[in-house]
Amino acid sequence: MKVNIRLEKGCKEPHVEIFTDTVTDDVKSLADRIANLSTSTLTVYRDDEAFILHQENIIRFYTESKKTYAETNDGTFMVKQPLCKIEEELSEDLFIRVSQSEIVSLGNIESMSIDIMGTVTVRLDNGTSSVVSRRNVTSIKNALEIKGKVRHS
Amino acid sequence: MNQIHKMFLIGLLAGAIIGNVIGIMFSMFSGTGLCPVSDQLILDAGSETSAIVVQTIISAVLGAIIFGTTFVYDLEGWSIAKSTLVHSVITFCTFVPSAYALYWMDRSAEGIALYLVIIVAIYVSIWLSQYLSYKSEIKKINDMLKKE
């Protein structure tokens, strides 16, 4: 199969077109695989190099100085989309928003705590701690409950 | 209409109602008969109707400010303690002058001190109940995480 990549200015979201004279099962299967791939992976950047990351490998997304980053065990990468756009693409089973500037992987949450002042923090298994908006505490609990039920069913 | 506007309008209505209920309660305790406004306010306003109008307006504005500023509890990065402290200061700074104007308090240092104690007690219980409620939620989350 011939594969072309065409660079287009202003084309922020990559899209794939398949040219064929017949829609066979193979073509349908290919289209399905591409569609699933685009939702479970994310293009990220580091030192002008582009990488494709699987959502499962991302520990958290955060915004700092108006830039969005994805943190993994292999380091931090820059993401071109804003956090709200990334949130739309992420699997709800894998990620949860903890504050206006941060989305974390549910599977990487180690523990949560509240200090005497009433500041809630989440600790991730890579040692990172992040402040949690109190309005998100219930949604974190619900997401973990659903995740636990899915795992045990 | 956003949440702040909604709370402001709810506060306006609640304030007008609660203000007059407070007035009736004060008259019941003072034994001067059932009247929503104090005798001194009637004297100041010139008539009972004017006094009720003044009390309704002031308490509606008071309610709107207290309810409308509850957004401080939702501010990103603000702890429960900070939100509670800021809201208690807003309440104290608006409630005491209103209570003074409407004769809901003794016009003395003791009267102000009494309101200070009441407001501090109310807000300490708000902070404590919120703190304990979140602590309990977080305990449930940590228990779930330990099970995984």
Environment class of B64 (CB within 10 Å of its CB; exposed 0-12, middle 13-18, buried 19+) = buried
Nearest 5°: the CA angle B15, B17, B23 is 95
For residue A71, give Cα distances in angstroms to A58, A129, A146: 6, 13, 24
Q: At A37, is the pLDDT very low, low, confident or very high (cuts 50, 70, 90)? A: low
What integer pLDDT is reported at residue B131 of this predicted model?
96
Q: Is the pLDDT reported for residue A36 higher than 70? A: no
The answer to whether residues B51 and B104 touch, using CB atoms and an 8 Å cutoff, is no
Q: Report the run of H or E that residue B119 belongs to, with start and end.
A: helix B109-147
How many angstroms separate the CA atoms of A89 and B123, rounded? Answer: 41
Q: Please judge whether A148 and B141 are an interchain contact, meaning their C-beta atoms are less than 8 angstroms apart.
A: no
Percent of chain B having pLDDT more than 90?
A: 63
Task: Choose the mutation target among B145, B146, B147 for the interface with A, i.e. most A CBs under 10 Å.
Answer: B145
Mean pLDDT, chain A, integer? 86
Q: Is the pLDDT reported for residue B139 higher than 90? A: yes
Which residues on A lie below 8 Å from B135 (Cβ)?
114
CB < 8 Å from B in window 61-100 of A: 99-100
Mean pLDDT, chain B, integer? 90
In A18-105, DSSP assigns E strands to 41-46, 49-54, 58-64, 67-72, 75-79, 95-99, 102-105
Pick the more confident residue, B57 or A39. Answer: B57
Q: Is the pLDDT reported for residue B13 higher than 70? A: yes
How many angstroms separate the CA atoms of B41 and B101, rounded? Answer: 8
For residue A10, give Cα distances in angstroms to A17, A67, B17: 18, 19, 57
| Residue B144 contacts A where some CB pair is shorter than 8 Å | yes
- Of the candidates A99, A115, A140, which has its C-beta nearest B141's C-beta? A140
Q: Report the run of H or E that residue A121 belongs to, with start and end.
A: strand A120-124
| Residue A151 contacts B where some CB pair is shorter than 8 Å | yes
Task: Choose the mutation target among B71, B123, B148 for the interface with A, i.e. most A CBs under 10 Å.
Answer: B148
Best-predicted range by mean pLDDT (A28-42, A47-61, B107-121) = B107-121
